[in-house]
Amino acid sequence: MKVFALPDLGEGLADAELVRWLVAVGDTVTVDQPIAEVETAKSVVEVPSPYAGVVAVCHGEEGETILVGSPLLEVREDADADVAAAAPAAAPAAETVEAPEPEPEPVAAGSGAVLVGYGTTDHATARRRGRTTQRAAGVTAGAPSRIVPVVSPVVRALAHTHGIDLASLTPSGVGGVVTRRDVEAALAAAKATAPSAPAVPAAPAAPPAPTAAQREPGADPRTGLDIASVIPFSRLRRTVAETMTRSRSEIPEATVWVDVDATELWEARKALGRSGKPPSMLAFVSRFALSALARHPELGGRVTSDGDGIEVFSGVNLGFAADTPRGLLVPVIRRADRASIRELDAELGRLSAAARDGVLPPADLTGSTFTVNNYGSLGVDGSAAIINHPEVAILGIGRVIERPWVVDGAVVVRRIVQLSLVFDHRVTDGGVAARFLREIADAIESPIAFLAVEAPGTVNA
């Protein structure tokens, strides 16, 4: 019998919600066949099976939350099925005997599954088998330990729950990896050294506060209004709330903004449209921003974990806000600094469509270093955007509309767009932020001049 545990989906999350089973007990599955849909905080993905055989057990009900590393599916391989069929009918006592741990399969017998952060070939198989063995073996003396070469999300969640700093632990795992046993040992030591409190009469325990899903509608004592319904946050909404709260609590942000005459760029796009579909305004502005980031790389960096410096990257992974039926998502164009305007436009379209359809893999939703937010597509001019933690800046783009504008002393109708830049004041000051934003504005106002000096490989408009 092969036990398949919910894999690490590559997002640093400790669990996922089981949306839908794609197989049932008794079904025959093949290697890499999708067996279930699971929803993380960022996407809905199909989980492929690393084993072929007959489904013996499906762990979890639809709608249930399953921890990473917990059993998801048990598959009886053909050889197991033949043995089970040939076994004598009498031996009921065997049901009460715990089955021994199955022998590990050869590392090379992988499937090459394409789920991000998980695979069944070579190293990925060894990683998953190591995690399963570590969890099953526990602290059995003398047992050979297979340690996952990363800190497991389950270990991180356990440490976070009990307030244990992983950096303070002495790792016992191979390659200096902190294991679950390290966290449990630290927890036991903390309990042993905690001073005993003087005996006091036990106070009745206060009942836990009900969750949103548990609260019943009724009269609100503060407003006097009846509560019509209580809607629990979705998994995505909870994650967005946590990220935004962390951004606002950790980042001393400041904002600069400017109104920009985009008439020349607007007309240039119309001219390009005569020979085919022109690149979007977002593609042009993104290219202008990427050019400015090459001169101000700190705005595409990240504050170090100790808060004493900034990590500057050798390229830019460009995130962009996308409004989808599931809520706000931030797809990522990797190494966008290498892309031309038309290549950016193609990626923006592809990723936006995949995000709306709910088929974007987790890898395309992580790892951004700078984000653009085109809230103008929603029909608004400005927004106080929140920085996408742990980034240090976000560029906002309003709608491009006709407004009265003074040109050479005369009031004329021009196409105007408002840009805003929200930045981490720890990283830089207003002067740098203003120059960065002004460079983007100048490129919008004079796109021909920008294209004339920009590297040929990055324009291709």
Residue 354: pLDDT band with limits 50, 70, 90: very high
Residue 69 shares a structural domain with residue 179: no
Same domain for 173 and 113:
no
The arithmetic mean of pLDDT across residues 63-84, rounded, is 76
Nearest to 127 by CA among 113, 140, 141: 113
Known active-site residue 59: no
Q: Is residue 70 part of a domain?
A: yes
Residue 165 within any structural domain of the chain: yes
Partners of residue 48 on adjacent β-strands: 34
Same domain? For 162 and 134 the reply is no
- Average pLDDT in the 433-461 region? 84
- Asked if residues 376 and 398 have their Cβ atoms less than 8 Å apart, the reply is yes
pLDDT confidence of residue 307: 87
> How many domains does one find in the chain?
3
Q: Is residue 326 part of a domain?
A: yes
User: Rounded distance, CA 361 to CA 43, Å?
Assistant: 7
Residue 375 inside a domain? The answer is yes
- Report which DSSP code applies to 312: -
The answer as to whether 382 is a domain residue is yes
CATH label of the domain that carries residue 104: 2.40.50.100
What's the whole-model pTM score? 0.61
For residues 413-422, average pLDDT = 97
Q: What is the CATH number of the domain that holds 438?
A: 3.30.559.10
For residues 14 and 104, membership in a common domain is answered with yes
Residue bearing the bigger pLDDT, 142 or 311: 311
> Has residue 271 got a pLDDT over 70?
yes
**Does residue 149 surpass a pLDDT of 90?**
no
Residue 142 has pLDDT above 60, yes or no: no
Both 405 and 435 in a single domain? Answer: yes
- Please check whether residue 229 lies inside any domain of the structure: no
Question: What pLDDT does residue 358 have?
Answer: 83
- Out of 123, 160, 162, 425, the active site residue is 425
172: containing domain: 147-187
Residues 183-240: tens digit of each pLDDT:
778 878 877 776 655 555 555 555 565 555 555 667 888 888 988 888 887 777 777 8
Of 33-37, 133-137, 427-431, 440-444, which range is least confident?
133-137
Q: What is the per-residue pLDDT for 94?
A: 38
Peptide bond preceding 102 in cis form (omega within 30 of 0): no
Q: What is the pLDDT of residue 175?
A: 67
| Residue 160 falls in the annotated catalytic set | no
Residue 123, token pair as written in the block: 């190293």
Identify the active-site residue in 82, 337, 429, 442.
429
Q: What is the pLDDT of residue 343?
A: 96
Distance spanning both ends of the chain, measured CA to CA? 57
Residue 242 counted as domain residue: no
**pLDDT for residue 210:** 59
